[in-house]
């Protein structure tokens, strides 16, 4: 369940035909793409556009991703992709996700992804201060755990 003590953003869209299998059910791999869209939307909503982060010389490389499939989604279904920050550290952050039916609010998929900040040269780096500060705004005060 999405937390209530921090910023949670949601973007909505329809499941496209190309994202489904022969039964009209969303292929499991597409939820990882939906997580990415939710994460990009979250960053934009906090005024920390990921494109600017990359232009500054950094990437957030995926270290781990997890999805738990609860209820399938189908072609032409309007879904919401929710995102929030689970944990923020100096060099890493973890995003949480829910994919929900946009009409009923039924949770269909939950998940998280862990990311490490690296420079374009491939070295683990501190998250740039401006991006870190923007992400920190999404957390409850007691949830800011830099290390």
User: Per residue in 7-56, pLDDT tens?
Assistant: 999 999 999 999 999 999 999 999 999 999 999 999 999 999 899 999 99
Report the distance separating Cα 64 and Cα 112, nearest Å: 8
**pTM assigned to the model:** 0.93
Active site residues: 21
> Which residues lie closer than 8 Å to 132 by C-beta, 6 or more apart?
88, 90, 126, 146
Fold classification of 9-140 is Thiol Ester Dehydrase; Chain A (3.10.129)
pLDDT of amino acid 142:
64
Question: For the CA atoms of 144, 89, 98, 11, what is the dihedral angle to 10 degrees?
Answer: 90
User: Per residue in 101-146, pLDDT tens?
Assistant: 999 999 999 999 999 999 999 999 999 999 999 999 999 976 445 4
Pick 79 or 141 by higher pLDDT: 79
């Amino acid at each position: 369940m999405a937390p209530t003590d921090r910023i949670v953003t949601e973007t909505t869209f329809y499941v496209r035909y190309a994202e489904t299998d022969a039964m009209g059910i969303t292929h499991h791999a597409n939820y990882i793409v939906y997580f990415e869209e939710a994460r990009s939307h979250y960053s934009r909503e906090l005024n920390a556009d990921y494109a600017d982060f990359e232009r500054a010389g950094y990437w957030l490389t995926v270290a781990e991703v997890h999805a738990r499939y609860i209820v399938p989604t189908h072609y032409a279904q309007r879904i919401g992709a929710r995102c929030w920050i689970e944990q923020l550290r100096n060099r890493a952050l973890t995003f949480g996700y829910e994919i929900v039916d946009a009409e009923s609010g039924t949770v269909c998929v939950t998940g998280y992804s862990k990311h490490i900040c690296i420079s374009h040269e491939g070295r683990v780096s501190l998250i740039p201060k401006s991006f870190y500060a923007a992400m920190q705004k999404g957390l409850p005060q007691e949830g800011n755990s830099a290390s």
